[in-house]
Structure 1
C-alpha cells in the first residue's frame, strides 16, 4: 500500500508534513488548494479514516499512524479561527499519470 505525505501551511505560516498510509488524500485535497481550517480538518480526517480502513481491510489491524496524524491535525486546527486558511503545498507522491493507450492501426 503506497504511503504519502501532505505538506500544509497553517494560517500562521507554520508548515507541517502530514503522513497518510494511502494515496486517498488525493481524493480529498488538491495541491495548491486553499481550505478553511474547518474544511481542511474535515477533509483530512475523513481521508485519514478511509486510509486507516484500507489498512485494516488489507492487513487486519488499524493504522495507528493515520490516527496519530488525524490527532495532530485536530490539535493544530484548534489553534486557529475556523475560517482561517490552510494551504496544501505538496502531496508526495503525486498520483500516477495515466499512460495514453494507442489504438492499433486498421487498414
Structure 2
C-alpha cells in the first residue's frame, strides 16, 4: 500500500512531517493551502480513519502508525486551540 508523508507549517511557524499509510491524504489537503485549525483537524481525522480502514481491509488490523500520527497532530493542534484565526499550512507531499 503506498504511503505518504506530508509537511505541515503550524501557526507558530514550526514545521513537522506527518505520515499517512494511504494516498487518501491527497484527497483532503492541497499543498500550499492554509486550513483553519478546526477544519484541518476534521480533515486529518477523516483522512486517517479512511487510511486506517484501508490498512484494516488489506492486512486485518488498523494502522497504529496512522493512529499515533493523529494523536501527535491533535496534541500539536491543542497548543493553538486558543489562538483566534490559527491556521495550518500543508506545504508538500512526499512518497514514503
TM-score bracket for the superposition, by shorter chain length: over 0.9
Residue number in structure 1 paired with 2:93: 91
Structure 1 unaligned segments of length 5 or more: list them.
94-107
Q: TM-score, normalised by structure 1?
A: 0.83
Alpha-carbon shift at residue 83 of structure 1 (Å): 3.0
**Over alpha carbons, which structure has the higher Rg?**
1
SS at match of 2:32: coil
In proportion to residue count, which structure has more helix? 2
Change (3 A) 1:55 1:30: same
Change (3 A) 1:62 1:82: farther
Paired residues in the alignment total: 93
Q: TM-score, normalised by structure 2?
A: 0.93
**Partners of 1:34 and 1:86 within 8 A in 2:** yes
SS at match of 2:85: coil
Q: Deviations for 1:3-51, whole angstroms, at most 9, x for unmatched residues? A: 1001000000110100010000001000011001111111011101100
Alpha-carbon shift at residue 85 of structure 1 (Å): 1.0
**Partners of 1:7 and 1:90 within 8 A in 2:** yes
Higher RCO by CA contacts (8 Å cutoff, separation 6 or greater): 2
Residue number in structure 2 paired with 1:57: 57
RMSD: 1.0
Instruction: Detail structure 1 runs of 4+ shifted over 4 Å in the superposition.
Output: none
